[in-house]
Structure 1
C-alpha cells in the first residue's frame, strides 16, 4: 500500500527536477584583434611585393603557400598569408 502512494510522488518530483532552468552559455562575439590585423585588411588582394615597402610589428610572419610555420598560438602575432598567385589572401592574429 505504501509503495503505491510513494510512486506518484516520486514521479512528480522527477518531473519538477526536469524543469530546472539552465543558465545561458556565453560565447564571445568576435575574437580580439590583439595584433592589429583589422588595420591591415586593405592588403588582401594586393600583390605580395607591396609588403616590401611596409614596416610591421616585431614578430610578424609573412607566410607563403609552401612555407612551414609553427602551430603555437600567439594572439599578439600578426600573420600575413599569400597564395600561389602572389596575392595576399589572409591577414590575421594567431
Structure 2
C-alpha cells in the first residue's frame, strides 16, 4: 500500500507537466516588437533612433553602458543598446 501511494505521489507531478505542443514547437515570437525593421540603426547615433520614431517608454528602452535596467522580459518591447559613444550596437526585443 505504501508503495502504491509513493508511486502515485511521484507520478502526479509528471501528469501535471503536459507539454503544450503549439507553444513548445514554435516558442515565443523572436520579433514580436518588430526589431528586424530597425536593424539599419546599428552603427548610427541616438538621434537616428528618435528619427525612426523610437521613443523611450513602456514599449521601448534606449540604454547604454552602465544604465540600470529591469530584468523582466517583454516580447513586445524594443530595446536599443548604445555604446559609450552613443552609437547603436544592438536592436532587439525583450
Distance 2:82 2:54 in 1: 16
**Runs of 5+ consecutive residues of structure 2 not aligned to the other structure:** 1-23
How many residues matched?
69
> What CA RMSD, in Å, does the superposition of the two structures yield over aligned residues?
2.3
Distance 1:52 1:38 in 2: 17
**TM-score, length basis structure 2:** 0.62
Rg: which structure is higher? Answer: 1
Name the counterpart of 2:65.
65
Name the counterpart of 1:76.
76
Q: Secondary structure at the match of 1:49?
A: helix
How far residue 84 of structure 1 moved from its aligned partner, in angstroms, is 0.4
**Runs of 5+ consecutive residues of structure 1 not aligned to the other structure:** 1-25
Runs of 4+ residues deviating >4 angstroms: none
Distance 1:93 1:44 in 2: 14
**TM-score, length basis structure 1:** 0.62
